[in-house]
A and B are shown apart, each in its own frame.
Chain A
């Protein structure tokens, strides 16, 4: 079966750096998405990786290793507003999005 694994919950301190990991086992691969979802709000697009390597976008970076079935989202200079759930999703060979259960990130002052 197809599976996306990410930690259920993480805690970090304001101003620090946090890395949220995502491992996947899917039938084929056509890219990996990261979304941010604040409580009670819509998931919003953060990044899309289809090639190996690191993509940087401001305070957020996303890394992909297709050979390892692994990605991470790196958040720098954490702010209180970064408290949210972070969803990892993989496009399989049929271009269907397979979703992880999300990682709830708690930022403490």
Chain B
């Protein structure tokens, strides 16, 4: 319904694994976002892409590596994660270029568990 899909929906990985999260938006939007959502905490903005260029990186550890090959796709590459990285990772998109007062539309998220 939201037009933003994420895969996988659930992921369990060890601390030495490498995995990738995928997000795709079918809304023709220009900006895409990665958020981390932990229980009872506010959404944490991780990365923002506008027209495929990264415009914001909120001091995210280097074990998280984003990639935006085009305006419809966004990846989050994960390596050597820590147990405290276990959370729901949400992708969102918006029509306006990042920096506008525009509604963000979210995907269903990937529930990540790091063992």
Contact A101 B101 (CB under 8 A): no
B4 part of interface (Cβ distance < 8 Å): yes
Which residue on chain A has the smallest CB distance to residue B58? A96
Which of B11-19, B77-85, B106-114 touches A? B106-114
Q: Can you name the residue of chain B whose Cβ is closest to the Cβ of A30?
A: B101
Q: Chain A, 40-70, contact with B by CB distance < 8 Å: what is the 0/1 string? A: 1111110010100000000000000000000
For the complex, what is the distance from the CA of A94 to the CA of B106, rounded to whole Å?
21
Q: With A33-B103, A45-B105 in contact, do A99 and B4 touch (Cβ < 8 Å)?
A: no
Question: B103 near A45 (CB under 8 angstroms)?
Answer: yes
Task: Identify which of A33, A40, A44, A99 contacts B2 (C-beta below 8 A).
Answer: A44
Residue of A nearest to B48 (CB): A96
* Cβ of A55 to closest chain B Cβ, rounded Å: 14
With contacts defined as CB atoms under 8 Å apart, how many contacts are there between chain A and chain B in the complex? 50
CB <8 Å contact, B101 and A95 = yes
What is the CA–CA distance of A91 and B103 in the complex, to the nearest angstrom? 11
What is the interface size of chain B, counting residues whose CB is below 8 A from a CB of the partner?
A: 21
B41 to chain A, nearest CB (A): 6
A97: chain B residues within 8 A (beta carbon):
43, 45, 104
B61 at interface by CB-CB < 8 Å: no
Kindly report which residue of chain B lies nearest to residue A104, judged by CB atoms: B40
User: Chain A residues with Cβ under 8 A from B45's Cβ?
Assistant: 96-97
Per-position 1/0 for B86-109, Cβ under 8 A of A: 000010000000111101111111
B90 pairs with A42, CB closer than 8 A: yes
Instruction: Write out the residue numbers on chain A whose beta carbons fall within 8 Å of the beta carbon of B101.
Output: 30-31, 48, 50, 91, 95
Q: Which 6 A-B pairs have the closest CB atoms?
A: A99-B42, A42-B106, A99-B43, A42-B108, A95-B99, A43-B106
